[in-house]
Structure 1
Amino acid sequence: MTPGIGRTLRQIRHARGKSLTVVAGLAGISPSYLSRLESGDRALDRRSLIVALANALDVAPTEITSGALATPGELDEERSLGAVRLALLAVSMGEPCGEWMPAEALTARVSDVLAAQRDCRYAVVGEALPALIRDLHTALAAGGDQRTLLRLLVLTHVQGTQAWLMDVGAPLDLAWQAATLARHAAERLADDPVAEAASAFGTGFGLLGAGALDLAAQTLAAPRVGTATGEQLQLSGMLALASSLVAAARGDQRERAAALDHATELAERSGDGDAWWFGFGPANVGVWRMSVALEAGEHAEAARIAQSVDPDALPSPTRKAAYWREYGRALARLPKRHEDAVLMLRRAERIAPARIHRHPFMRSVLAELLAKAKRDAVGRELRGMAFRAGLTV
């Protein structure tokens, strides 16, 4: 089996007419390791390695990752992708064609959508987003409470539109459109450092997904949000966490450690909070530490960190799903822990199926585990997950 991301990698290499030895040498890995990535025996689940391979093949990183997203069938939440795409195109052209309503009513609708996103009710989010996007931009164009509406737009496009698109495995161009709309709204709020920070978080993640690591680092470092209020403190903490992940992808150990230490110190000061729906706090920092360790290829360290995090203390289903997903991802690369990895991933799948079925990293991890699966109860769980993710079983 040559599934998803590995198959795409091999196809690009063949199209470029480059040998395993040449591409592996340019990417800084061995030819045998590259062969195992292409066959699915090893998961391609680190942004830094994807960028290195893309550079070796003279393509954009998204050329490698995008091919892993197409799967047979549809999840319920995916049925709204076309309507969301049309809404984003409409507002980008200045023709939202929505329904006007007062800011108070829009605020309540945004809150409902973000609550559903936090609870991993992605079908509900997808159904509500197209009209909400159009109505928010219609109200802004009509000249209502500009400051409130612009803040709602930043919040909605980062924590609603962009987050939902990433969770359901939509093409990166759609998530980038959402991040761009959030950035434009934040730029009109020139005196609002919190909105600027939220927008920078979304833009930074969009750049990270595209492999623009240096630009992502610059974007996340630009806001001067401060820590004078609880809201500012929590947004500063989220920027520090995102910066640590980018630093890990860049191989910058010093910046990675400094950013994580800063986020930890801010979390100790803030306690668990939910400013701008980020859920920043000590427990959430632990999950981010796992993700950062995984990005650096430190699977044993990520598993060790997981043991120090209480998943019941995490503030939302989406964070719990992230914990079990990252724990499983770590265990998948440790000797004699593959069965435990499957069980962790199954817990994540029960909370948020799309975050297992549609994320290219997780599909790659499932493929690696599948190649080693036994014909037992755990193997059946794994094959069920792989089938639901659209992999050949």
Structure 2
Amino acid sequence: MAPDRSGRGRSQLSLPSATGSSVSDIGRRLRQIRNARGKSLAVVAGLAGISPSYLSRLESGHRALDRRSLIMALARALDVAPTEITNVALALPGEAEEDRSLGAVRLALFAAAMHAWRGRVCGVDELTDRAEHLLEQQRQCDYALVGARLPDLIDDLHTTLAAGRDQREVLRLLVITHVQGTQAWLGDIGASQDLGWQASTLAADAAQRLGEPAYLAVSGFGTAFGLIGAGGFDLAERVLHDTHPGTAGNTELQMAGMLTLTRSLVAAAKGEQGERAAALDHADDLARHAGEGNALWFGFGPSNVGVWRMTVALEAGEHAEAVRIASTVDPNALPSPTRKSAYWREYGRALARMPNRRDEAVLMLRRAERISPARVHRHPFMHSVLSELLARARDDAIGRELRGLAYRAGLLS
């Protein structure tokens, strides 16, 4: 599953019972699918490579189902798509301000894919200004504004390209807008992975026409993320292996770093420890040479590598290691609110699985939520993490903070 990215239906959970238990939507769905398949705990657990008691805790919400590799293993054991397990834990479109634009963005993507141009022909300077402003607002987590402006920008970029105006400049804008704007926005608000894939496909088409290594790398990153979100780790690995931005300039160096970080995530999901470590070490080396940067809006640099190291450790189930890494990262050095929110969210996810550190976990998650509610409420693993925390919540200040966060995320009625 992609580190961040589905806005489909979910059921509501009631307040914790007197025993302190609270069943996560993902856990409930997992149990429903297993029962519908007529498979016992022991059979499914054996096929997934875990113990029956651990599977029972996942189903009850006492353990968070927050690893892509485990979701894939359970999906294979149950003979279902991964989204059958995870989609019920994601927010419904229409519940937040940014969702109001989802329909218009969807239609703009459909129109672009159909070559049904419906925008206006614009000058490249105007399109550049609009794209840069939108991408900056995406970095600032202003998802309502991004969503409001995306449909017209998508329409106008594709219409201008079809008119033959400033083609190379417009192709560059299309690649970066669809990966760093459209696909990223759709992921952050929890929209359908299929829409994100459509955005990455449009970016890939533009990158192939352009043929420039740096923009092919941007497209490769977007394509790989779409494949990771669908559980296509081998396909993502192939895309990353075949994408070579080089290191001729600082932009290419930073893009090589981002692709290397993505390889480390794929390796973690596949359980390839040696490849994961080698990729992270290589990314560290590239970051030292590149310095803190923001080429093509990726924010690659030493501090961002630290956040990726946390995410990769979490994917590998190494929560203590993620906590250790967090202590080495200066969140103030992170290049944007999106990365700061990711840092606090991943820190909270890690602490949630550490003995006697759940209060700290709640405080870290609240910091992430204050920066970007959507990146906590809509993240595909957060409902499971919050449910695990709720199962052990006390009737104190931290417990009230947690229940408030869970309510805003749609977990409590």
Indicate whether 1:258 and 2:302 are aligned: no
C-alpha distance in structure 2 between counterparts of 1:219 and 1:156, whole Å: 20
Aligned residue for 2:327, secondary structure, equals helix
What's the CA shift for 1:71?
A: 4.4
TM-score, structure 2 normalization: 0.93
The equivalent of 2:309 in structure 1 is 289
Shift of 1:73: 6.2
The superposition leaves residues 179-198 of structure 1 with CA deviations (integer Å, 9 ceiling, x where unpaired) of: 111111111122x0111100
CA distance in 2: counterparts of 1:160 and 1:296, whole angstroms: 29
Name the CA shift for 1:72/1:186 in 2 (closer, same or farther; >3 Å).
closer
Q: 1:95 aligns with which of 101, 112, 116?
A: 116
Structure-2 change in CA distance of 1:280 and 1:80 (3 Å): same
Letter in 1 for 2:177: T
The offset of 1:14, in angstroms, is 2.0
The amino acid of 2:59's aligned partner reads E
| Structure 2 unaligned blocks of 5 or more | 1-21
Match of 1:221 in 2: 241
Structure-2 separation of matches of 1:360 and 1:232: 31
Summarize deviations over 1:154-198 as a string: whole Å, max 9, x none.
1001000000110111111111111111111111122x0111100
Matched AA of 2:29: T
Tell me, in whole angstroms, the C-alpha distance in 2 between the residues paired with 1:312 and 1:348. 13
CA distance in 1, matches of 2:391, 2:120: 51
Deviation at 1:62, TM superposition (A): 2.0
Q: Does 1:25 align with 2:65?
A: no
What is the aligned residue count? 392
Determine which of 146, 158, 170 is the counterpart of 1:125.
Answer: 146
Q: Paired residue for 1:81?
A: 102
In structure 1, the partner of 2:354 is 334
CA contact (8 A) 1:3 1:392 kept: no
What is the match of residue 346 of structure 1? 366
The aligned residue for residue 169 of structure 1 is 190
Deviates more, 1:276-285 or 1:28-37: 28-37
Q: What CA deviation, in whole Å up to 9, does each residue of 1:222-276 have, x standing for no partner?
A: 1111111000000000000011011000001111011101100000001001100
Shift of 1:2: 2.6
Q: Where in structure 1 do 4 or more consecutive aligned residues deviate above 4 Å?
A: none
Q: Does the CA contact (< 8 Å) of 2:138 and 2:185 recur in 1? A: yes
Summarize deviations over 1:288-324 as a string: whole Å, max 9, x none.
0000000000000000000000000111100000000
Q: Is the 8 A contact 1:72 1:390 kept in 2?
A: no
More helix by share: 1
1:392, CA displacement in angstroms? Answer: 2.4
Shift of 1:57: 0.9
Q: Distance in 2 between matches of 1:88 and 1:14?
A: 38
What is the alpha-carbon distance in structure 1 between the residues aligned to residue 93 and residue 272 of structure 2?
39
Indicate the structure whose relative CO is greater, using CA pairs within 8 Å and at least 6 residues apart: 2
Superposition TM-score, scaled by structure 1 size: 0.98
- Paired residues for 1:1-393 under 5 Å: 1-71=22-92, 74-190=95-211, 192-392=212-412
Q: Percent identity?
A: 69
